[in-house]
Structure 1
């Protein structure tokens, strides 16, 4: 069974995708923000346990930047492609930072 640390890239990506999906389908942006924040908090805790406070802070900053960056990207390539793009990039970054940390 994989450890929780190995799931942190998926948690971060799911937070970005899930937050957008909830906001879009419920038409309640704050509810999507709750999903985004909860997943980000869980991922940040896992990043800190796996790789330390500095790595967790950097990855949390990347998570927020991915969310913010998806908005202008959506104007160029569409909303869902933008969300999936930043979620994939975030998962890749989280994996790169935490893969050898166990």
Structure 2
């Protein structure tokens, strides 16, 4: 495999990708002060995980997992007002990564 070859989608640990997207996107936005840059990280992880979900499962499962991932992002904002930013991000990340593992990665 050359340095430019992508990992086969069936071999990608999407729970780790989801975690990287949610936590990494939040940290990128927070540390740079550029919220859209955090969105780029979030979107890149969604695309990478979605590619694997499509290969490992089916269309409805892929759509469900993408929805859970994006809902986690959306829900983290009001949740942060109640429990704080870090706990909110970690909570939605755990839920999203858990769903990715249960519906895709453990197969």
State if a TM-score over 0.5 links the two structures. Answer: yes
Residue of structure 2 equivalent to 1:29:
35
User: Structure 2: any 5+ residue segments left out of the alignment?
Assistant: 1-9
Residue of structure 1 equivalent to 2:90:
84
**Among 44, 47, 55, which residue is 2:53 paired with?**
47
How many residue pairs match? The answer is: 97
Max radius of gyration: which structure? 2
Taking structure 2 as the reference length, the TM-score comes to 0.87
Deviation at 1:4, TM superposition (A): 2.5
After TM superposition, what 4+ stretches of structure 1 lie above 2 angstroms from structure 2?
none
Residue of structure 1 equivalent to 2:99:
93
Q: Which of the two has greater helix per residue?
A: 1
What RMSD in Å do the two structures reach over aligned CA positions?
A: 1.0
